[in-house]
Chain A
């Protein structure tokens, strides 16, 4: 009888011992965000690529094909590929990545979106000749907005931060050019 009792105790102890690893299941989940690192992995290729090619021309047209470009930039960095990374500007892709990043909290993202929308309204008014602000002031506001975004990103999502930094001038090119800006709005 005692033997069976002892055996039962051992079984229970064993089950308790097992239950701990089971309860640590959340940890693998915590490791689940690691797929983020693969996400961020492709991006370091971006900053390296756009720099040699500050070409703005293909920006609006090439937007659709952007997702495949980081891979292309990885494979062949030579001169022939130079125009492609420049078109990697793709504001929509950057916005999607900003939406997806966990480096910025929910309400911070909404606040940023509010401020970006306000800035875009200013650009729209400027291009329509309705604004009192000058291009210099718009540039200052744009730089400030970039600083805010980068401050929030640089510690926790460096890949996205550097992607934005490398697209900085290209984005400005789109915002400052009335025709490109209209395509952005459309």
Chain B
């Protein structure tokens, strides 16, 4: 492997390394956000451990205690938390 190739590979590795954390941070922030939303609605959850994006402002949240909720923003601008079975 020649030097430019090595440099390119190194750059790509560094770029990839830098690109991942913000995504992970976003995921963590979203989980915390949804945890707070569910708690504010007085529903049991504990902590959101997994989130699936169903659509824009529409999520399926799985809680540590096994409860699952659909959390979405309705047309009236209200955040709705619906328990899922």
Contacts and interface: CB of A to CB of B under 8 A. Distances in A.
Contacts of B75: none
Interface of A: 8-9, 12-13, 15-16, 19-20, 23, 26, 104-108, 110-112, 114-115, 148, 152
A105 B41 contact: no
A105 B14 contact: no
Q: How large is the interface on B (under 10, 10 to 19, 20 to 34, 35 or more residues)?
A: 20 to 34
B82 interface: no
Question: Main SS of the interface on chain A?
Answer: helix
A115 B71 CA distance: 16
B33 A107 contact: yes
B42 to A, nearest CB: 10
Interface of B: 3-4, 6-7, 10-11, 14-15, 18, 22, 29-30, 32-34, 36-37, 40-41, 57, 71, 73, 77-79
Contact of B32 (A19, A20, A105, A110): A105
Closest 10 CB pairs of A and B: A105-B33, A108-B36, A111-B79, A12-B3, A12-B7, A111-B40, A107-B37, A111-B37, A114-B78, A110-B79
